[in-house]
C-alpha cells in the first residue's frame, strides 16, 4: 500500500486554541545546519533540530557521503565535519523522499565534488521542476542530467571545481539562491546572486555563523569560493511555517488565547504575521531576542474578527509556504480576499492554488483560482471530505478549518504531515482541536 494514502484526519467542528506551546524546529534552518555542519571543520552541535522526514532525508544524505552524525535525540544532533573537500562518493543513489529543499540545495553542493552522484525522490518530488537550478548551475560549469521534463532523478557529474558566476534570478526563490551559494563554495572566484524580491536569508546568516564571509548589498549576495567553514553551535528556533497554522487557528476560533514560544521571526519569513495583521489579527511579539544570529520571539495570538484584503504582492515571497492556511483565514474573514503574484504556489508539493480552491469549494466556500493566485469570498465553512494530494501544508490547513466548520471535516492522504510537523495531531489535540488520525 502507498503510505502517502494511508492516513486520514477527521476534525469535529468547533473548539478553540488555548495555552502555550513550542512548535517543531525550523525546517529551513535544520536542513542548512546539517549541510554546513557536514562540510565545516570541527564538531557542530545542534539543538532544536526538526525530526521530520524532510530534514532527516538531508541528514541521511550526508551520512551516505561519509559524515559521522550522532542523533537526532530529542532534537540534539552532533556532526563531525569533514571540511569542504572531505565528502565521499555515496555507494548508491541518494533518496530524498519529498524534500525539494534537499534536492535543490544538494544539487549545487554536489556539482562541485570530485565524485559523481544521483539524487532521487518520491513521486511528488520527481514531478517538481529542477531546471530553475540546473540552468544557472550549468553556467558555472556543472554537468547535471535530468529527465526530458527537467525533473529528478538528477545525475550529477562531479566537476571538482566550478567557475564563479553572476546570476539574476527571474523569480524570487530562496532555494535557487541557496543552491548557487553552496555551489559557489566550490567555485573559483566570486559567485553572486541578484534577487528580484527579498527571500529567506537563512543560508547567508548561517554561512556567516560558520565564519564564512558573505557580502550583501541591497538585493545582491556575493561569496568567494574555496574558503573554509568553522564548526559552531546552532539552536534551531521554532518554525514560523508550523506556527502559521496556530496563528490562523487562534485568530478564527472564538475564545482563543495562545502563546507560541521561541519562534523564528526572520524578517524574510514574517509575511504570515504581516498579512494576518492587515486582516485585523490580534498578534503580539513578546521577548524578542537574537539566537545564533536569527531573531526569535514568543508570539501571542488571540481571537479576532478578520477582514478580507488585497494581499500586497511584496509580501508574497515572505509567506510563500504559508498560503494554504492563509486561504483558510480568508475563508473565515468578512468580505473578499485577493491574492496575485503567487504562481510559485503551482509548483510546490502540489498545485497549492488548485488543490486549496478545490477543497474550499467542497466545504462550501466561494474560492476562485487564477493563474497566479486566488479570489476567496469569506463566509461559512461547511463540513465535507477533502484530499490533500500528499501535501503536508494542505492537510494541516484543512485541519485548522475544522475550528470554524459547521460539520466534520475529513482530510485524506495525510501521511506527509510528518515531513515537517511530526506530532501535529497530538499537539493540536492538546490545545483544543477535536482531531483524530486513522490509518
Query: Could you give the percent of the chain with pLDDT greater than 70?
Result: 99
Among 187, 217, 235, residue at a domain's last position: 235
Structural domain of 262 = 3-25+237-438
Number of domains comprising the chain: 2
31 shares a domain with 15: no
Residue ending a domain, choose from 195, 213, 235: 235
Of 325, 415, 334, 398, residue with least CA distance to 363: 398
Give the other-Cβ count within 10 Å of 246's Cβ: 26
362 and 401 together in one domain: yes
Q: Catalytic residue numbers?
A: 321
User: Would you say 216 and 190 are in contact if contact means Cβ atoms under 8 Å apart?
Assistant: no
8 lies in the same domain as 44: no
Query: Of 200, 219, 235, which residue is a domain's last?
Result: 235
Output the DSSP codes for 128-186. Answer: S--HHHHHHHHHTT-EEE--TTS-S-EEEE--SSEE--EEE-SS--HHHHHHHHHHHTT
Q: Domain check: are 241 and 231 in the same one?
A: no
pLDDT at 293: 80
Q: Tell whether 264 and 231 lie within a shared domain.
A: no
Same domain, 352 and 230: no
Residue 157 and residue 8 share a domain: no
Average pLDDT over all residues of the chain: 95
**What are the strands of the beta sheet with 373-377, ordered from one edge?**
336-339, 373-377, 366-370
Residue 221 belongs to a domain with what CATH number? 3.65.10.10
Q: Is residue 381 scored above 90 in pLDDT?
A: yes
How high is the pLDDT of residue 3?
42
Q: What pLDDT, on the 0 to 100 scale, is given for residue 439?
A: 85
pLDDT tens column, 241-283: 999 999 999 999 999 999 999 999 999 999 999 999 999 999 9
Asked if the model's pLDDT at residue 340 lies above 90, the reply is yes
Same domain, 120 and 140: yes
What is the per-residue pLDDT for 107? 98
Do 183 and 120 share a structural domain? Answer: yes
pLDDT value of residue 4: 41
Task: Tell me, yes or no, whether 278 and 197 share the same domain.
Answer: no
Amino acid at each position: 500500500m502507498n503510505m502517502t494514502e494511508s492516513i486520514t484526519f477527521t476534525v469535529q467542528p468547533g473548539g478553540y486554541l488555548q495555552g502555550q506551546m513550542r512548535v517543531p524546529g525550523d525546517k529551513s534552518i535544520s536542513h542548512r545546519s546539517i549541510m554546513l555542519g557536514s562540510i565545516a571543520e570541527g564538531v557542530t552541535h545542534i539543538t532544536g533540530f526538526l525530526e521530520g522526514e524532510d530534514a532527516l532525508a538531508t541528514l541521511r544524505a550526508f551520512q551516505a557521503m561519509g559524515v559521522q552524525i550522532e542523533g537526532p535525540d530529542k532534537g540534539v544532533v552532533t556532526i563531525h565535519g569533514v571540511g569542504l573537500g572531505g565528502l565521499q562518493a555515496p555507494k548508491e543513489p541518494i533518496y530524498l523522499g519529498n524534500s525539494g529543499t534537499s534536492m535543490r540545495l544538494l544539487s549545487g553542493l554536489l556539482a562541485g565534488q570530485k565524485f559523481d552522484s544521483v539524487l532521487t525522490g518520491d513521486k511528488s518530488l520527481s514531478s517538481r521542476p529542477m531546471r530553475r537550478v540546473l540552468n544557472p548551475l550549468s553556467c558555472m560549469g556543472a554537468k547535471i542530467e535530468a529527465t526530458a521534463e527537467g525533473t529528478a532523478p538528477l545525475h550529477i557529474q562531479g566537476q571538482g571545481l566550478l567557475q564563479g558566476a553572476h546570476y539574476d534570478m527571474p523569480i524570487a526563490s530562496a532555494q535557487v539562491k541557496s543552491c548557487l551559494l553552496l555551489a559557489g563554495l566550490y567555485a573559483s572566484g566570486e559567485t553572486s546572486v541578484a534577487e528580484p524580491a527579498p527571500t529567506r536569508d537563512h543560508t547567508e546568516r548561517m554561512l556567516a555563523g560558520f565564519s564564512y564571509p558573505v557580502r550583501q548589498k541591497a538585493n545582491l549576495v556575493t561569496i568567494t569560493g574555496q574558503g573554509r567553514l568553522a564548526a559552531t553551535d546552532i539552536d534551531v528556533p521554532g518554525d514560523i511555517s508550523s506556527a502559521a497554522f496556530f496563528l490562523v487557528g487562534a485568530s478564527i476560533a472564538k475564545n482563543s488565547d495562545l502563546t507560541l514560544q521561541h519562534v523564528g521571526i526572520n524578517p524574510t519569513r514574517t509575511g504570515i504575521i504581516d498579512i494576518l495583521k492587515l486582516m485585523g489579527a490580534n498578534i503580539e511579539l513578546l521577548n524578542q531576542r537574537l539566537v545564533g544570529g536569527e531573531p526569535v520571539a514568543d508570539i501571542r495570538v488571540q481571537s479576532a474578527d478578520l477582514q478580507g484584503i488585497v494581499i500586497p504582492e511584496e509580501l508574497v515571497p515572505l509567506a510563500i509556504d504559508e498560503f494554504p492556511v492563509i486561504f483558510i483565514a480568508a475563508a473565515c474573514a468578512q468580505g473578499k480576499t485577493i491574492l496575485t503574484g503567487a504562481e510559485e504556489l503551482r509548483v510546490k508539493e502540489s498545485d497549492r492554488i488548485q488543490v486549496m480552491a478545490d477543497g474550499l469549494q467542497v466545504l462550501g466556500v466561494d474560492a476562485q483560482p487564477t493563474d497566479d493566485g486566488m479570489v476567496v469570498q469569506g463566509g461559512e465553512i461547511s463540513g465535507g471530505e477533502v484530499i490533500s494530494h500528499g501535501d503536508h501544508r494542505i492537510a494541516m490547513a484543512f485541519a485548522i478549518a475544522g475550528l470554524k466548520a459547521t460539520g466534520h471535516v475529513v482530510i485524506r492522504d495525510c501521511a506527509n504531515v510528518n515531513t515537517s510537523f511530526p506530532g501535529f495531531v497530538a499537539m493540536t489535540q492538546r490545545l483544543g482541536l477535536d482531531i483524530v488520525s486513522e490509518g
